Chains A and B, each alone.
Chain A
Amino acid sequence: MQYLISVIHDQAGLATPEEHAAIDVFNDRLQAEGHWVFAGGLASPNTATVIDNRGEEALVTDGPFIESKEYLGGFWVIEAPDLDVALKLAADGSKSCNRRVEVRPFQ
């Protein structure tokens, strides 16, 4: 079973070097314990571009699709047998990146 752990970013500035170091340790553990699927940190939302190609031609807009104080700062995709295991890993992930996280199962 795979879960998405989204990092909720609600402060100015991206991860500090200390946070990066803690995240690396957590990532190593995910790999060693077989939970690792994929992970990444995202650049700030004002680097985002929105594309809408549902019509005749692709419409390109600058900026994130939703303006908010909280945004997706990064994510992990993990493999876990059930939500209890996923929540424990997410708790450690939250500690490592020093931010709130959201856990959501894949379909």
Chain B
Amino acid sequence: MNRVDVREAVTRVHHEEWARVVASLTRRFGDLDIAEEAAAEAFATAVERWPAEGVPPNPGAWLTTTANRKAIDRIRRENKRDDKQKEARMVYDDDPPEPLGAIDDDRLRLIFICCHPALAMQARVALTLRMVGGLTVPEIARAFLVRETTLEQRITRAKAKIKAARIPYRVPAAEDLPARVTGVLAVLYLVFNEGYLATSPDTDPVRHDLTAEAIRLTRLIRALMPDDGEVAGLLALMLLTEARRTARVSASGELVTLDEQDRGAWDAALVAEGHRLVRERLAAAAAGVAPGRYQILAAINAVHTSARDVRDTDWSQVVALYDQLVSLDPSPIIALNRAIAVAELDGPEVALAAVDRLEDKLAGYHPYHATRADLLRRLGQSQQSRAAYDKAIELAGNTAETAYLTRRRDQLR
């Protein structure tokens, strides 16, 4: 096997096995810190040895065994009083092979502990990407434009809190599960959105690394919790959004809005997979299971991606879905998005009235001003439209979006 093949094998195994290794070590040693360090060392050893020795027939087992040894070495090295008990356990626990079910449960436990509501949102994101996603600290720091030391501190503090406050390593009880799953999905959606429309002018406008990572982790949760409707909904939402990624930024680096996108450039396989998931959830809804917000958002995206031409969009269906969403989540951002669909159904004047009612709550939110600017432009109110574009440009951070808004403003007469 040549070096490139080995490197690819390590990358693939890292994607497939990282969370599993960290999860099983966390269960065994009861310590995220030890698990993370030992897993990282085991992968480093693989990078070092596999080119010469070849990729082992069962890379996951090799990594787990190697990581276990690294962890035991570390604990012996530290040889602290508190660890004596653990060491005793390790000596007698002769690494029994785990049944697959238990190992999968470990990964779920890992996800739930990283997304625990007692941790700050930023810490949850960092911890999930590090522990479950296997991203390195420099990678995560780059993704969120924070200094590596800041991110390292965030992770260290979160791990220390988990230990000191004894945040449990387990899948929540059935009665708490929906709320906790919602918390996990919020973390993944945040990662995805930061990738899909980066908020800073200092990164690429679309960060495929982050969207891909969010989708990969959501797929993992979907595999672990196949019956959860919101997990399916979020995955469908991500896939249907990701499908449009390449059509979303023009060659000149400008954001292309949904109505102007080349629909032939959408990823048909992702659209098909997203639609399959949405149909699965529609069947469940027909059987009486009320859909949550991600399922409704996915359904809205399914309507958009079903139209070959923007003029074929079933806007009444989109508005009806937004009505359903508003009843679940009366946030002004949902109301704004609903108004955008209303503009297509009932005209920009009706939509503008609805948008203007949101001023108090959304004055600092650039899509509010961008939406107003577009509606005012369509109503021929150039001067007011220009002022709204100015405000939107001032508040927007994404370079592709700023470029789009600037061109639109400069086209006003």
Which has the most chain B C-beta neighbours within 10 Å: A83, A105, A107?
A: A83
CA distance A83 to B164 in the complex (A): 10
Are A105 and B118 within 8 A (Cβ)?
Answer: no
CA distance A25 to B164 in the complex (A): 30
With A83-B118, A87-B118 already in contact, the answer to whether A105 and B164 are too (CB < 8 A) is yes
Interface size on A, residues (CB 8 A): 12
Are A82 and B118 within 8 A (Cβ)?
Answer: no
B interface, CB within 8 angstroms of A = 116, 118, 164-168, 172, 176
CA distance A13 to B172 in the complex (A): 38
* Least CB distance, A104 to chain B, in whole angstroms: 8
Closest to B180 in A: A84
A1 sits at the interface (CB 8 A): yes
Taking CB atoms, residues of chain A closer than 8 Å to B167 are 82-84
Task: Report A55-88 residues with CB < 8 Å from chain B CB.
Answer: 81-84, 86-87
Taking CB atoms, residues of chain B closer than 8 Å to A82 are 166-168
6 closest residue pairs by CB, A with B: A82-B168, A105-B165, A82-B166, A83-B165, A83-B167, A1-B166
Taking CB atoms, residues of chain A closer than 8 Å to B176 are 84
Closest to B169 in A: A82
Taking CB atoms, residues of chain B closer than 8 Å to A83 are 116, 118, 165-168
Closest to A104 in B: B165
17 sampled A-B residue pairs with Cβ under 8 A:
A1-B166, A81-B168, A82-B166, A82-B168, A83-B116, A83-B165, A83-B166, A83-B167, A83-B168, A84-B167, A84-B172, A87-B118, A103-B165, A104-B165, A105-B165, A105-B166, A107-B164
CA distance A103 to B116 in the complex (A): 15
CA distance A70 to B176 in the complex (A): 31
